[in-house]
Amino acid sequence: MQYYSLAGQAPAADFRTATLKGQAPDRGLYFPSEIPRWGKAFLEELPGMARDEMALRVMEPYVGDNIPSAELHQIVHDTLDFPIPLVPVGNPHSCLELFHGPTLAFKDVGARFMSRCLGWFASERGEKMVVLVATSGDTGGAVAHGFHRVPGIEVVILYPCGKVSTVQEKQLTTLGENIHALEVLGDFDDCQRLVKQAFADSSLQSHLSLSSANSINVARWLPQQLYYILAWQQWTHRPVPPVISVPSGNFGNLCAGMMAWRSGLPVARFIAACNANATVPRFIKGNGYRPQKSIATYSNAMDVADPSNFIRILNILGHSPEDCQIILDADSITDEETLKTIQQVYHRFGYWLDPHGAVGYLALQRWMADHPSLHSGYFLGTAHPVKFPSPIEIAIGTSIPMPEQLQALMSGEKKTTEIPAQYEEVRDFLKRLR
Ligand SMILES: *Cc1c(COP(=O)(O)O)cnc(C)c1O
C-alpha cells in the first residue's frame, strides 16, 4: 500500500515511511492510495471470526510487506488485548466501551498499534529511536503506556505543569524506564512549541532518530477501525446495520470507522457528536467550514475548533455538505445538556457516562427521535467516567467507584524532570538520552 499526501506536494510513501514521518514533508496528512474492499466471503465469515484473524486480515493490506505477517499478528494481538464490549444502555442504545485498556480511553488502541510498529522499525534499523510528544493530558498517557518497555524506543513526553488531572499525571509519570516525563513550567502551547522546535532542529536530528506520536499518524489512525468491526460482531440486530454516534474532537476516530464502512462494514449512519466546538456540525448543515476559537467544555478531549482529520473525511466522502450527508450527520451538545444526560442515564439505567460518552449518547438519542422506527444504534464510550470525575460528581452527587487498574496507578510514584519552557532545556535532555 502506498500513502499519498493530501496536500499534494510530497512523494508517495510506504507504510513504514508514513509511520516514521507522521506527517508528509509538505505538512499534508497521509492517506492510503486505495481503500481495500472486503469480499462477500469475508463479510459472511466476519461475525464468527476470531479477533486476531479479523484484525490481521483488515490491517495487512495497509501494512503491506513492511512488517512480516507473524510479527503483525503479534502486534494486532497486543493491540486488542483488553475487552471491548458492546453494552446495552437503555433501549435502543448500546455503548461500545473502549475504556478497558491501560489508560482507560480509546486512544490505547491506536497508541498500542503504533508503538509496536515503531518498535519493529527501530529493531530493523538496529538504532535507538526517540519519540517526542506534547500532551494536554490524554494522549500522553496512552502513548506512555503504549510504548512502555518497547525495546529500542525512548519516549519523551512534555506536559504543562499543574494543567493535567491527577490521574493523567500519574499515567505519564509513574512508568519510568524508557518513558521520560518533562514537566514544563508553561502551558500546553509552550509544550507544542518546544516539540516543533525539536523537529525543526536539524543539528539535533543528526544526533538521534526522532519520531512523533501524533494522532494523525496512519499507524495510530487506521487500527481504530478494528473496534467498529468488533461491535458488528456483537451487534444483536444483524443484519440490520447500526447508527453509530462518535464523540468527536479531531475526528480521527470517526474517520477510521468510515474507512471500515468504505471497505464494506454495514453502517446505517454515522453521527459526529460534538460539544460546543461545532465547526463540523455547522458545515454539515450547510453553513460553511469556519473554525472559531476553541471553547473549553466538560468533554475537553473534544475541544477542537479545526479538526485535523476532517480533511480525510472530505477525501472519503467528497467536499460538499451534500456529499457528506450521504452517511454523516452531526450534532452539537452543550455542557448543560451533557450534565443532564449523565444524570438521567445514571438515574434511569444505573449507568455511568463520562462527559464524552454523554455527548455521544445524547446525539444518538436526538437522531433517533428525529428518525423514528427501524433504527437502533450505539455510541462510542471513549473514556472511563473515573477519568473525568468532577463534572460527574456534580451531576450525580456521589463519587465513582475506582477500577482496579487505577488503584495500582494512583499508588505509583511520580517521576518527572521539571524544566522551564525553553528549547535548550529540551534539546540538552534529548542529547543526554543517547
Ligand atoms: C481524543 C478523545 C476524543 C476525540 O477523538 P478524536 O479521534 O480526536 O475525534 C473523544 N473522547 C475522548 C475521551 C478522547 O480522549
DSSP result, 119-139: HHHHHHHTS-EEEEEE-SSHH
Q: Is pLDDT at 370 greater than 80 in this prediction?
A: yes
Rounded distance between C-alpha atoms, residue 22 and residue 15, angstroms: 10
Q: Which of 7-16, 227-236, 270-279, 395-404 has the lowest mean pLDDT?
A: 395-404
Residue nearest (by alpha carbon) to ligand 1 atom 2: 301
- Ligand 1 interacting residues, C-beta cut-off 6 A: 105, 107, 138, 247-253, 301-302, 356, 382-383
Q: Which of 19-23, 169-173, 218-222 has the highest mean pLDDT?
A: 218-222
Q: Is pLDDT at 395 greater than 90 in this prediction?
A: no
What is the predicted pLDDT for the residue at 136?
79
Percent of the chain with pLDDT over 90: 79
CB 298 within 8 A of CB 356: no
User: C-alpha cell of 214?
Assistant: 501524533
Cα 253 to ligand 1 centre (Å) = 7
**Mutate which of 214, 311, 382 for ligand 1 pocket (most atoms within 8 A of beta carbon):** 382
Cα 256 to ligand 1 centre (Å) = 12
Instruction: Find, among 163, 175, 323, the residue nearest to 258 by Cα.
Output: 323
Instruction: Find, among 255, 222, 230, the residue nearest to 96 by Cα.
Output: 230
Could you identify the atom of ligand 1 that is nearest to the CA of residue 357? 11
Cα 205 to ligand 1 centre (Å) = 31
Q: Kindly tell me the sign of the dihedral angle through the C-alpha atoms of 121, 127, 128, 132.
A: negative
- For residue 163, what pLDDT band results from cuts at 50, 70 and 90? confident
What is the predicted pLDDT for the residue at 166?
84
- For residue 309, what pLDDT band results from cuts at 50, 70 and 90? very high
Instruction: Find, among 332, 322, 192, the residue nearest to 274 by Cα.
Output: 332
**pLDDT tens track for 112-155:** 999 999 999 999 988 889 999 998 777 888 999 999 999 999 99
Q: Which domains does the chain have, with CATH numbers?
A: 83-105+221-396 (3.40.50.1100)
State if pTM tops 0.85.
Answer: yes
Could you identify the atom of ligand 1 that is nearest to the CA of residue 383? 13
When the pLDDT of each residue in the chain is averaged and rounded to a whole number, the result is 93
Q: Is pLDDT at 336 greater than 80 in this prediction?
A: yes
Rounded distance between C-alpha atoms, residue 357 and residue 384, angstroms: 9
Rounded distance between C-alpha atoms, residue 370 and residue 364, angstroms: 10
The DSSP bridge partners found for residue 185 are 420
**pLDDT tens track for 357-368:** 999 999 999 999
What is the predicted pLDDT for the residue at 277?
96
CA dihedral 108, 113, 119, 124 (to 10 degrees): 180
**Mutate which of 303, 306, 356, 386 for ligand 1 pocket (most atoms within 8 A of beta carbon):** 356
Strands of 283-336 (E only): list them.
Answer: 328-332
Cα 53 to ligand 1 centre (Å) = 27
**pLDDT tens track for 210-223:** 888 878 899 999 99
- For residue 84, what pLDDT band results from cuts at 50, 70 and 90? very high
On the CB side of 293, CA atoms within 13 Å amount to 1
Q: Is pLDDT at 6 greater than 90 in this prediction?
A: yes
Cα 104 to ligand 1 centre (Å) = 12
Residue 259, classed as helix, strand or coil, is helix
Q: What is the mean pLDDT of residues 280-292?
A: 95
- For residue 423, what pLDDT band results from cuts at 50, 70 and 90? very high
- For residue 189, what pLDDT band results from cuts at 50, 70 and 90? confident
Q: Is pLDDT at 431 greater than 80 in this prediction?
A: yes
Q: Is pLDDT at 389 greater than 80 in this prediction?
A: no
Strands 243-247 and 209-212: unpaired
What is the predicted pLDDT for the residue at 283?
97
Rounded distance between C-alpha atoms, residue 252 and residue 392, angstroms: 26
Residue 321, classed as helix, strand or coil, is helix
